[in-house]
Amino acid sequence: MISVIFLLGSLRSELKQVLKIRPSIQSDEGSIREIIDLSFPVFFRFFASHSLSSKGLVLVSETAGKIVGFVKLIEFGGGIRECGCILWLAVHPDFRGCHIALGLVEAGANYLFNHGSDAIFASTQKRNFGSLATFGKAGFRTMGFQDLWRLFGLRVFGLYRNIWYAPGEIVLMKDNAKLLPWAR
């Protein structure tokens, strides 16, 4: 057990030194599709793959020339405010537990805030403890229907559509604390 923890620790610090997060290019597509196939149930694979070529930005995490994770970002007008969404997030199974997802979520959130988003959303299944832990660590908080209703009123239904919310999922939000006293 101790040696496993030690190995993970040293893998984490090695990766930190060589990990690069950058916008994806066309030649990354095969690697991203492989990660999608290894990470999502069949039903979701189609939508995740399709989203690679749809509107938005894909960031990849790369180490030693290998793509080890990706995040898909979109932006939309939430009515009163500009919003961003982390639509898909996945890390190659061989590289999980090394804070790669955390780095991608943080980089994605920074990009969206710098690009004008006031709030950033994500949604995930209740039992996706890895995803919940990652977003929680990156400063996202859980938003129930009433919390969202308070912020968006009737526009909440448009928000659900924009973030591809599926019934039963948990909505997570991170706001730009400097700009948004309304969201407290």
Ligand X SMILES: CC(C)(COP(=O)(O)OP(=O)(O)OC[C@H]1O[C@@H](n2cnc3c(N)ncnc32)[C@H](O)[C@@H]1OP(=O)(O)O)[C@@H](O)C(=O)NCCC(=O)NCCS
Which residue ranges make up the site for ligand X (CB under 6 A)?
39-40, 88-91, 96-102, 124, 128-131, 133-134, 137
- Tell the smallest beta-carbon distance from residue 169 to ligand X (Å): 10
Full DSSP string of 4-59:
HHHHHHHHHHHHHHH-EEEE--GGGHHHHHHHHHHHS-HHHHHHHHHHTTSSSEEE
- Tell the smallest beta-carbon distance from residue 100 to ligand X (Å): 4
Dist CA 104 CA 182 (whole Å) = 27
**HSE value, Cβ hemisphere, 13 Å, CA-based, for 56:** 24
Structure tokens at 141: 């908080």
In the complex with ligand X, which residue's Cβ is closer, 32 or 91? 91
**HSE value, Cβ hemisphere, 13 Å, CA-based, for 85:** 21
In the complex with ligand X, which residue's Cβ is closer, 33 or 99? 99
In the complex with ligand X, which residue's Cβ is closer, 81 or 104? 104
- Tell the smallest beta-carbon distance from residue 11 to ligand X (Å): 11
Q: How far is CA 160 from CA 38, 127, 146, 174, in A?
A: 27, 19, 13, 16
In the complex with ligand X, which residue's Cβ is closer, 99 or 155? 99
In the complex with ligand X, which residue's Cβ is closer, 79 or 130? 130
Q: Evaluate whether 34 touches 73 at the Cβ level (below 8 Å).
A: no
- Tell the smallest beta-carbon distance from residue 156 to ligand X (Å): 21
- Tell the smallest beta-carbon distance from residue 144 to ligand X (Å): 19
Residue 23: CB atoms within 10 Å: 11
